[in-house]
Structures are given as C-alpha cells and as structure tokens.
Structure 1
Amino acid sequence: MTPADGLSGHTADPPGWQGGWLREARHCPSPNFGPRPAGAVIDLVVLHSISLPPGRYGGPEVEQFFGNRLDWDAHPYFDQIRGMEVSSHFFIRRDGELVQFVDTFERAWHAGRSCWRGRENCNDDSIGIELEGLEGDSFEAPQYQRLIRLMRQLAQRHPLRHVAGHEHIAPGRKLDPGTGFDWAHLQQLAAADLGWDRGYFPEVTHPRANGPDHPPQDGASA
C-alpha cells in the first residue's frame, strides 16, 4: 500500500476510470466533500443503507439530498434531516443502477464519528457506498451484483483491504445497512469473484433477517 494511493498525482488510470471517477457510473457531483489528509491510505469500504422518505424507493430524493437540493418541506420526515450536508462516493439503487457523487480520491462525508481496526475518522481513508434500502429490509440481487462489480473496480484504483458497515464503524450510533443485509452472501461473492477471504470483513453478530419476526425499522441512515 502506498500513502494516499497517489493523492498528489496518482498513477495511470486503470481501465474504466478517469481519475477518481468511474466512467460507467452516472455522475451526480455533490458539493459535500473535502481533501483527504496527507498520508491517508484508501483501503476501507463502508456500506450504508438509505431511502428517502424511509422505505420509499426509486425517487430522486437521495440524489437531491446529497446535492443539497432536497425540498425540506416535501415530506414530514425531512424535518429530521433539515440542513444536513452529507454525501457518499456511490449509491446503488434497487435495480443495480450506480450513481457516483464524489471523486474517490476526495473525502466524502458519510461516516461521521467512527473507528475501525484502531483508526478513527473513517471518512479519511474510506470509500462510502450507499445501498438503496432500509434497516431491517432485504436488498435486491442486482444490488449485490453491482456491489461486487464496484468493489472489483475500486480494487483496481485503490488498495482495498477492509469492508465494514456503518453499524460496525459507529456501533451504538448507527445501525445500517442493518439485519436485512446478507453479509455471508457478500463474502461468498467476494471470495469467488475477488479472491477475498473473511479477514476483509467484519465479524457479523446478527443473523440476516427479512421476515415477519424482524420488521423494518423506522428511519433511514446516511
């Protein structure tokens, strides 16, 4: 691994990349980002879930939220997030469509107070990926397929070594992507497609749950 993976003049672009922008993603630039600190090694992927309003899928609200264009008065829930300025690098919709908001060499605002494997402030050295979903709800097959493809592409651009959920880097504060996310399935896909072993992933302490005994929780988490 090299410090900052070339933040001040990275190596030649891998196929499909233009700097920190993935060509095949739909680009929707967010103003909510900043520079990574000197010496940062971009080796962590943080998975999130989000839907706006919570549990409603397919609309433009997430993109509007990350672009500071959301109409705060359009839904009562938006009062809870009024004025927030956040972003992620990527957003994977239910049908697998990929949207990119922030250059991967830049620091997106997705993790907040966080720590993973002894390193605090996970925004500094991570790639944030939002999955369209709700804590406790299940995710769609195209989302897992797109996520694996994206992680393969990211591994060509950055020295990835770790994958964690927002719930793992901010325990007690965040719950996403939640019990409906199938970590075992993701690990199987990553082992087959990327050759990644279980050491890349968190130790999952909750079972996957998407049935009547584990109903979706209220709210969404960015």
Structure 2
Amino acid sequence: MPQAQRYDSPNFDARPDPQDITLLVVHNISLPGGEFSGPHVSDLFTGRIDYNADPSFVNLRGLKVSSHFFIRRDGRIIQYVSANERAWHAGVSSFRGREKCNDFAIGVELEGSDFVPFEAAQYTALAELTLALLEHYPLTDVQGHEHIAPGRKTDPGPLFEWEHYQKLLKEKALDEPALVAAIAGLGVAKGLSQSQ
C-alpha cells in the first residue's frame, strides 16, 4: 500500500494458499483501552511493547499478534504485514463454514473502541484501502471481528457505521467500472452469521 507507513512486524507467516484471499476483517484496538495516538499498538504488533507501561498490559505478555493494516484516528494508515502473507489478527474464527480466517483474510484495525464513534477520516481511509485491495485480491466479503468470532470478540462494535462505509465505497468507485462491479458483489454485512 504505497500511502501507508511501513512498520514491519515479525508476527506473520505464509498463507496456505496465497491465491485464497477473500475476506476483509475489520477490528478496533486501543492501548491502553480507550486511549488513542500512543505508540503501544504498533509496539504490540511488532513485539516491542513495554509491558510495564500500563497495568493493563500485563495480560499482553507473550502475546504474538499483528494486523495487515492499522488506521489511526486521523486516517493515517500503517502497514505491518504484506497482504500476501498471513497476519495473526483473527484468532479462533470461522466464516461461511471455514475455520482459521487468518488463512484467507486481510485484517484492518481501526484505532478506536466499542464505546467511541469512529472518525470520518477513518471511514474514508478504510474505503480507499478496501478499493485498493479489491484491485489486487479476490475479496468477496467484509466482516467485523465480532461476526467471525461471535461471543469471543465484539469489535469493531456497535458504533461502526456499516452503511456509511458501504456508501463511501460506492461513491469512491464511481469512476472505475471494474471496481463498481467488484463492490456490487462484495458481501459487506453487519451481523452475518458465521454459518452463512
């Protein structure tokens, strides 16, 4: 992603099938919880977090996670792992009867929480990132972490505006007929159960 700042993570490995990248998973994250703009998310994803920086970090010790992308509150995008590789963002998960969503998904973390509305710049950046990914990968669905790990995860949460995101996707793709067709076939569904 050319406009993304690169901050390489060691927490990734090879996908079982590099051609099988069909799902985009939207998450939210803030470290410490509810606090924004600090270095801790990038430090977590790159294995450099200072576990003593906040009492809540004690539960993160030894955790090896990453995401392909992180969208800051101001819309800046940071990339940790190439979308060609498997980032470790979804954990125990299932979608349309397939387990281990990391195998076939691209993960995007939004700087936020379940309790704070996301910023307009984040929706814009997410829509632009989605369109860029659609040009290179056969994405068929966009889901929240809560939808592929129900009962275990709640993000991006009740304040994520799925309809607004879809509207932006359509608006930004108007000049690209191939992208208009790709978006028309993209399953952006709030609450789609994992069995569907």
Give distance in 2, aligned partners of 1:198 and 1:174. Answer: 26
Equivalent in 45, 52, 75 of residue 73 of structure 1: 52
TM-score computed with the length of structure 2 as normaliser = 0.89
Gaps in structure 2 of 5+ consecutive residues: 174-179
1:145 aligns with 2:124: yes
| Shift in Å, 1:34 | 0.4
Superposed CA offset, 1:48-89 (max 9, x none) = 000000111001110001011000011000012121010000
Superposed CA offset, 1:163-212 (max 9, x none) = 0000000000000000111111112112333432485112448xxxxxxx
Q: Tell me, what secondary structure is at the counterpart of 2:122? A: helix
Match of 1:159 in 2: 138
Give distance in 2, aligned partners of 1:119 and 1:84. Answer: 24
Give distance in 2, aligned partners of 1:140 and 1:71. Answer: 28
Give distance in 2, aligned partners of 1:36 and 1:59. Answer: 31
Give distance in 2, aligned partners of 1:141 and 1:190. Answer: 13
Match of 2:26 in 1: 47
Match of 1:134 in 2: 113
* Alignment map for 1:1-222 (pairs within 5 Å): 22-38=1-17, 40-194=19-173, 195=180, 196-197=183-184, 200-204=187-191
TM-score computed with the length of structure 1 as normaliser = 0.79
RMSD (CA atoms): 1.5
Q: Structure 1 residues 39, 142: CA separation in 2 closer, same or farther (over 3 Å shift)?
A: closer
Identical columns (%): 49
Give distance in 1, aligned partners of 2:156 and 2:17. Answer: 29
Gaps in structure 1 of 5+ consecutive residues: 1-21, 206-222
Q: Tell me, what secondary structure is at the counterpart of 1:78? A: helix
Q: Which runs of 4+ in 1 moved over 4 A?
A: none
